[in-house]
Amino acid sequence: MAPRGDCRSFRRVARTRLLRPWLWPNRSGNRLVSGGIGSSIMRGSIGQEVGVMDESVVLYEERGSVAIVTLNRPEKMNTLTEAMVQGVADAIDRATASRPVRSIVLRGAGRALTGGYDLNPGGQMEGGWGSPFDAPGPEPREGAWDPVRDLQFMGHNVKRFMKIWECPKPVLGQIHGWAIGGATDLILCCDLLYMAEDAFIGYAPSRIFGTPTTMIWVYRLGLEHAKQFLLSGDAIDAGTAHRIGLVSHVCPPDEIEERIEADARRLENIPANQLALNKLLINQAFENMGLRTTQLLGTLFDGITRHTEEAYRWVESFEEKGFRKVIAERDAPFGDYGERKRSASD
């Protein structure tokens, strides 16, 4: 075990980052808050500003009638930072406003779609929101967790992810490599999903430290399969994902990009208003089932799971064992995620 003094020091640092996420600095030194979004400067409901986002982490390209949005942080498995979440939202807005664009493809550069939120200590500082860790401080009231502030902050991410859902143009999501945790909050908002044969998707934080915030799982899978995979956090292979209706198509890894772009391009033969109205009609059926209320609860519960006694102890163990070992220990009983051996293609 780490000396008690070291743990206390870690707790003080962690408390300022997770319990008070609205104080997490970005690279420009501005304080990050949640609220409405803009293309370069955001102003949250508590009146503070967020600096200009780094466009290099999300690439945008129009290829005729198809807009290609690419998560571009391959050296970090495209793990999500504030800049990336904002970049995706901005890219969806840009494609929505572009008259030539009829459909959108969302993908990731490198060997994976995205490994979810960047949970490495200090890693998210690069993207603008610090490290989402916490441990209890020596004084119970010092830096006490505010669930409303937490909900406001994480809810802002949900609003930006849901731009995909609300976009009047079809958004096709490409899953290759891995789509883990927060990656599913993003990619499951797409209208159609294409998955490489060797890819995996899953919500590992179901085991500790999270609940799905956009919570599209149950609406895509139904009660039985949603419980099967969210109670266990099991990784889902492509064949299973297709069998249970989570994805529309499974493709060879070297053919998936060509296939998804070809299918997206077919939609240019349909009037834009037809695409928009049919998408809205289908989405509204699911919203009538309580999607938005479920998202509110999922986002609130996500904050609660990060502030349990088990979560505090889990985060403290990073100092003693290291991040990768702790993740591997979490997944050892299940034989996936942190326990999975990398293949040659990884």
Q: Who wins on pLDDT, 340 or 332?
A: 332
pLDDT score for 118: 87
The domain limits of the chain are 55-126+167-339
| Mean pLDDT of the residues in the chain | 83
Mean pLDDT to the nearest integer, 170-178: 99
Q: Which architecture characterizes domain 55-126+167-339 according to CATH?
A: Alpha-Beta Complex (3.90)
Tell if the pTM clears 0.95, that is, is over it.
no
Rounded to whole angstroms, how far apart are CA atoms 42 and 156?
11
Which two tokens mark 228?
Answer: 């099967």
CB contact at 8 A, 302 and 210: yes
**β-sheet with 200-202: strand ranges across:** 178-180, 200-202, 236-237
Residue 217: left if φ>0, alpha if ψ -120 to 50, beta else—which one? alpha
pLDDT at 123: 52
* SS3 sequence of 299-319: HHHHHHHCCCHHHHHHHHHHH
pLDDT tens string 18-50:
443 433 333 333 333 222 222 322 333 323 333
Q: Please write the tens of the pLDDT for every residue from 111-142.
A: 999 999 987 655 553 444 444 444 444 455 55
How is 47-112 classified by DSSP, letter by letter? S-EE----GGGEEEEEETTEEEEEE--GGGTT-B-HHHHHHHHHHHHHHHH-TT--EEEEEESTT-
DSSP 3-state assignment of 192? strand
Q: Convert the pLDDT of each residue in 244-258 to its tens digit.
A: 999 999 999 999 999
Tens digits of residue pLDDT in 272-310: 999 999 999 999 999 999 999 999 999 999 999 999 999
Residue 222 amino acid letter: G
3-state SS, residue 293: helix
Structure-model confidence comparison of residues 18 and 191, the more confident one: 191
- How many Å apart are CA 162 and CA 164, to the nearest integer? 5
Burial grade of 136 (CB within 10 A; 0-12, 13-18, 19 or more): buried
pLDDT at 340: 63
